[in-house]
């Protein structure tokens, strides 16, 4: 029986291992983590992450060939294949601060593996890591190996949150990078045999280590670039009276371009895009490629510009002040169908409004008040460290309330900001909401969820990203 151990029970480790256990009944899978609370949650009825379909998969396998444990050393010693999916945050100080990946957790994982291993191991990089990490990990393992043979593979994660289980059941591709030595290739085949139990052979790509590591960063950079491209066009649409939805549709019908990732919005979020691009930028700079670094930097600059442009539009429309005005924020997660708030544009928008002394009332169907308060009190990049190393109980932001109902959030508000495209926001009774608000009532749609014309008929003053501007907004230019 092949034994797999996965270090890190987060958004990557949990779902990936659950699906491997489901699809490979003859493989024993153990997910280990230093955070006891997280492991307890994986063993309970309420899993620590929300992902459609995940509950069913875990409940089918848990206790059969899928286990969650805090006994890290025991399970590493017993495993044949060790997946490492620990945090790789952006460094906040020292060399490469604000760009480079912090490999502290990765390195301690590698040292622990070297310490407790008593037999040959295949070690698989699952976390997103900078190119050449495998080389560093290899050195740590071989210098501490006590005669044990370690093979390093890179098997980057291409999951999209909200559709992770579907993506795992039917991936576009599984990428496995390994050394081009006989031992390296044998390790690649060993991991390939696990995936081949449900993924067609032609979808399992094998490359060298560096190609696999770089492909992940490149894929995320390309996706984020598409979002920034359409967001840049959205600003021009507003200035000229074009409609970004029509432009994006016309562009996307070109089969060479395709329609995906062309929705204009308040900006991209999520744990990977910004982090991976910053990482790519840093690697380019370290390799003496400043022109390439600057090219990718622009993707993040446009994203930051889009968020500040949105905040400026809100403030400028409302007589240039939101001081002491109640603003309802609908949606806090970085996209629909996930409770994940990492790098969500809502954080920057809320902070921008709070900077102008607004009172904010937030409703999101999947995000807890505790999480929202933590996010608004945390410094940039803090979220990417294990929970017990994050700043404890930050002081709650007093001007922020969190409700469990969209109607409650919008009651007596001067304006509404839609910041996540949850399906339920399409079907709210906006006439009822309008009647409960202060007038003039403003609706700022950061995800193009609602039909602006219908909202104007109800009485709202509407700002929709990349759509022709309301006469009201034309008179109130948003100067960034």
Q: Are 448 and 248 in contact (CB under 8 A)?
A: no
At 157 the three-state DSSP class reads coil
Task: Output DSSP code: residue 98.
Answer: T
**Residue 272 among the catalytic residues:** yes
End-to-end CA distance of the chain: 61
Please enumerate, by residue number, every residue annotated as part of a binding site for NAD(+).
8-13, 33, 38, 86-90, 127-128, 161, 272-275, 342
Task: Output DSSP code: residue 404.
Answer: S
Facing residues of 327 across strands?
A: 360, 415
- For the record, the structure tokens of 398 come out as 């007093």
**Apex 28 CA angle, 24 and 31, nearest 5:** 110
Please enumerate, by residue number, every residue annotated as part of a binding site.
8-13, 33, 38, 86-90, 127-128, 161, 272-275, 342
Q: How far apart are CA 133 and CA 251, in angstroms?
A: 38
Q: Give me the DSSP letters along 295-320.
A: HHHHHHHHHHHHHHHHHHHHHHHTTT
Q: Are 168 and 19 in contact (CB under 8 A)?
A: yes
- For the record, the structure tokens of 270 come out as 């999520």
- For the record, the structure tokens of 98 come out as 């604000």
- Helix (H) or strand (E) run with residue 417 in it: strand 415-418
Q: Give the closest residue to 266 by CA, choosing from 293, 244, 297.
A: 244
**Residues in the chain, total:** 480
Residue with structure tokens 């949990």?
A: 14
Q: Which of 5, 61, 272, 284 is catalytic?
A: 272
| Cα 2 to Cα 20, 141, 151, distances in angstroms | 12, 22, 16
**Number of neighbouring beta carbons within 10 Å of residue 243:** 17
**Apex 404 CA angle, 310 and 446, nearest 5:** 15
**Apex 418 CA angle, 416 and 423, nearest 5:** 130
| Cα 230 to Cα 30, 243, 314, distances in angstroms | 42, 12, 21
Q: Are 343 and 273 in contact (CB under 8 A)?
A: yes
Task: Extract long-range pairs of 160-164: CB within 8 Å, 24+ residues apart.
Answer: 161/11, 161/51, 161/270, 161/335, 161/337, 161/338, 161/340, 162/51, 162/52, 162/335, 162/336, 162/337, 162/338, 163/52, 163/337, 164/11, 164/15, 164/51, 164/54
Q: Give the closest residue to 183 by CA, choosing from 241, 120, 129, 134.
A: 120
* CB-facing half-sphere around the CA of 374: CA atoms within 13 A: 18
- For the record, the structure tokens of 266 come out as 């308040």
Catalytic residues: 272
């Amino acid at each position: 029986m092949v034994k797999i151990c996965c270090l890190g029970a987060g958004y990557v480790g949990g779902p990936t291992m659950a699906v491997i256990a489901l699809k490979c009944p003859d493989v024993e899978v153990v997910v280990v983590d230093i955070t006891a609370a997280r492991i307890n949650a994986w063993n309970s009825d309420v899993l620590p992450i929300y992902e459609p379909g995940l509950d069913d998969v875990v409940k089918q396998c848990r206790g059969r060939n899928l286990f969650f444990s805090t006994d890290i050393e025991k399970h590493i010693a017993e495993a044949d294949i060790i997946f490492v999916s620990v945090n790789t945050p952006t460094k906040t100080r020292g060399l490469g601060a604000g760009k480079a990946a912090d490999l502290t957790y990765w390195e301690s994982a590698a040292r622990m593996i070297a310490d407790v291993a008593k037999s040959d191991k295949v070690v698989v990089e699952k976390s997103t890591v900078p190119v050449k990490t495998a080389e560093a990990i290899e050195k740590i393992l071989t210098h501490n190996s006590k005669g044990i043979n370690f093979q390093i593979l890179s098997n980057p994660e291409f999951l999209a949150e909200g559709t992770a289980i579907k993506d795992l059941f039917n991936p576009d591709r599984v990428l496995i990078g390994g050394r081009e030595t006989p031992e390296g290739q044998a390790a690649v085949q060993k991991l390939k045999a696990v995936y081949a139990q449900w993924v067609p052979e032609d979808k399992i790509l094998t490359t060298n280590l560096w190609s696999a590591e770089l492909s992940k960063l490149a894929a995320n950079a390309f996706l984020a670039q598409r979002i920034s491209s359409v967001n840049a066009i959205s600003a021009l649409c507003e200035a000229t009276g074009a409609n970004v939805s029509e432009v994006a549709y016309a562009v996307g019908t070109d089969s060479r371009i395709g329609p995906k990732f062309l929705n204009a919005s308040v900006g991209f979020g999520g744990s990977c895009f910004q982090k991976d691009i910053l990482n790519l930028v840093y690697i380019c700079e370290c390799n003496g490629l400043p022109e390439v670094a600057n090219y990718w930097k622009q993707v993040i600059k446009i994203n930051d510009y889009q968020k500040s442009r949105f905040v400026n539009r809100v403030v400028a429309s409302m007589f240039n002040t939101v001081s002491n005005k109640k603003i309802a924020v609908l949606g806090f997660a970085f996209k629909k169908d996930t409770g994940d708030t990492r790098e969500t544009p809502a954080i920057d928008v809320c902070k921008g409004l709070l900077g102008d002394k607004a009172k904010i009332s937030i409703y999101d169907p999947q995000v807890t008040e505790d999480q929202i308060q933590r996010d608004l009190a945390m410094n940039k990049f803090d979220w990417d460290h294990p929970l017990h190393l994050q700043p404890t109980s930050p002081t709650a932001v007093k001007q922020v309330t969190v409700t469990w109902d969209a109607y409650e959030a919008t009651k007596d508000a001067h304006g509404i900001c839609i910041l996540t495209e949850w399906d339920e926001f399409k079907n709210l009774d906006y006439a009822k909401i309008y009647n409960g608000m202060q007038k003039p009532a403003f609706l700022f749609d950061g995800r193009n969820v609602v039909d602006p014309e219908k909202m104007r008929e109800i009485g709202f003053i509407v700002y929709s990203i990349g759509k022709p501007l309301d006469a009201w907004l034309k008179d109130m230019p948003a100067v960034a």
